[in-house]
Chain A
């Protein structure tokens, strides 16, 4: 059994009012420990609502959620404990910063866990290094940082709790390409170093394709499919029908294959594409020789 499992999870907003809306509809998923998963779907497809069930911020209208084998809401007093297991970074997390210094802000989560000061200190220093915040920034007010730094400080605040599952909701929203690559890079690094389960919610296929190994596609409050990258992108036509696009570079190489160029690789990033093109050219030259 995986670390996150749901059984017929359904959530309805505004039950009994004219504004009733089914946000999550009969979702059954099972995510294995150590996996890095992308959750993708266009705006309003229920991604954000779904992930808020994973640490008990929302209570399912019907159905069940199991974290690490334990059912959520079975025992309310365990909820706080489970929240420490599942770290949730919200959209625009920089708007949650409130302390006088970055150091204190990152300490907020670990302190709520009741850790010793030494342990809190160790975690802050480690996560600050992981997210690339220089030690001198830790004594500054979070409101003095740049946009990208604020975002990384806020992510560090959740990472410092060392959750078994880290969920990030649109962590790159509103950042420039450089900031976006930096955040995605640090998420990959974090996953590689800690080996914990990571869920990355996004509506950008490009972002997801670069970072994750498996993809969960949400459409109209339902799970459309949950599979590895290549089998998801193989259904590009269905994806574009629901307003999602396969990364441009993948499209280009699909087309090349259709035109008769032979290669086995699945291409998801520009870097990989570059390597592949160079390799194919090399092979061609050898064949010519």
Chain B
């Protein structure tokens, strides 16, 4: 059913990773991505794996959830893997048949890229699994706020994201209800060719848009009634505070980056 779609995929918990300051988590995730891209060999990548594992084990997220996050991009991994395997022709030839040439370099790059992509997805999933979407937008607003000097609307963008996130479940529920109601009136949503299916969406989309507009209007009114005038001079209910563990996590990240740079230099396999 449509309700089963998870958006934001937050997995509630009380682990250290959950409790880290979201700004720090955001920064660490960016550093982690940098880490993966500067790693030149498998040893560097191995350090990345260790770093990811530390986060994963501390977070208490079930391994099933992590694997689920990789599933949608599996085709990309396979596709890049095939490209690397067949189009890298340097190095020693391992297998040759007609025009197909597989070299050790090709195999290496394939494995390297696959691991890198999987690590990227794991790391970023760990961020979204352990941080609620609202906290995350809050963190994004704070991180982007220095850009206000060049008139970048950090607050407005964060507010839009928050509202969008807030209304996704509501609209999904609404869609579900409208779909059920029209199905109860005999609407056929599952069969027929493309044009028929597109036409069958009309009884769902029109009520959905009507209700989205109604909600938008109500929300705008409610916000104005509570004197919302944008981000200027606004204080917060929940102040983000950094704790010693945040700096510890940052220090650990920096150490890993340093380690990878050293590994690149002295053990570039």
CB contact under 8 A between A109 and B206, given known A18-B12, A95-B178: no
Name A96-144 residues within 8 Å CB distance of B: 96-98, 108-109, 112-113, 143
A109 to B185, CA, bound (A): 5
| C-alpha spacing A89/B9, complex, angstroms | 33
CB-CB under 8 A from B202, the residues of chain A are 98
Q: Does A52 contact B (CB under 8 A)?
A: yes
Contact (Cβ within 8 A) B186 A113: yes
Chain A: residues with Cβ within 8 Å of the partner, total of: 26
Q: Which of A18, A93, A113, A143 contacts B181 (CB 8 A)?
A: A93
State whether the Cβ of B4 lies closer than 8 Å to any Cβ in chain A: yes
Contact B203 A83, beta carbon cutoff 8 Å: no
Using A18-B12, A90-B177 as known contacts, say yes or no to A97 and B184 having CB atoms under 8 A apart: no
Nearest chain B residue, comparing its CB with the CB of A114 = B186
Closest to B180 in A: A57
Asked if A55 and B184 make an inter-chain contact with CB atoms under 8 angstroms apart, the answer reads: yes
Total contacting residues, chain B, CB less than 8 A: 22
A158 touches B (CB below 8 Å): yes
- Give Cα distance in the complex from A146 to B3, angstroms: 31
A14 close to B4 (CB less than 8 A): yes
In the bound complex, what is the Cα–Cα distance between A80 and B177 (angstroms)? Answer: 18
A109 near B186 with CB under 8 A, answer yes
Residue A157 interfacial (CB < 8 Å): yes
Q: Does B268 contact A (CB under 8 A)?
A: no
Contact of B185 among A13, A95, A108 (CB under 8 A): A108
Query: Would A57 and B183 count as touching, CB distance under 8 A?
Result: yes
Alpha-carbon distance A113/B186, docked complex (angstroms): 7
From B209, which residue of chain A is reached at the shortest CB distance?
A98
A83 touches B181 (CB 8 A): no
> Does A60 reach chain B (CB closer than 8 Å)?
no
CA distance A161 to B188 in the complex (A): 15
Any chain B CB within 8 A of the CB of A88?
A: yes
Q: Is the CB of B184 within 8 A of A83?
A: yes
* CA gap between A24 and B151 in the complex, in Å: 54
How far, in whole Å, are A80 and B183 apart by their CA atoms in the complex?
Answer: 9
Interface residues of B in 190-235 (CB under 8 A from A): 202-203, 206-207, 210-211
B50 contacts partner chain A, Cβ-Cβ < 8 Å: no
Bitwise interface map of B from 165 to 187 toward A, beta carbon under 8 Å scored 1, else 0: 00000000010011011111111
Shortest CB distance A58–B (Å):
8
Q: Are the CB atoms of A108 and B203 closer together than 8 Å?
A: yes
Closest A residue to B11 by beta carbon equals A18
Within 8 A of B (CB), among A37-65: 52, 55, 57
With a 10 A CB-CB cut-off, give which of A88, A96, A161 has the most chain B CB atoms: A96
Query: Is B181 a contact of A96 with CB atoms below 8 Å?
Result: yes
Nearest-Cβ distance from residue A164 to partner chain B, whole angstroms? 14
B1-24 Cβ-contact flags toward A at 8 Å (1 or 0): 001100000011000000000000
CA distance A83 to B183 in the complex (A): 8
- A233: interface (CB < 8 Å): no
6 cross-chain pairs, A with B, having the tightest CB-CB distances, nearest first = A112-B186, A98-B206, A109-B185, A96-B181, A88-B184, A90-B181
Q: Can you spell out 5 A-B residue pairs with CB atoms less than 8 angstroms apart?
A: A57-B184, A83-B184, A84-B186, A87-B184, A96-B207
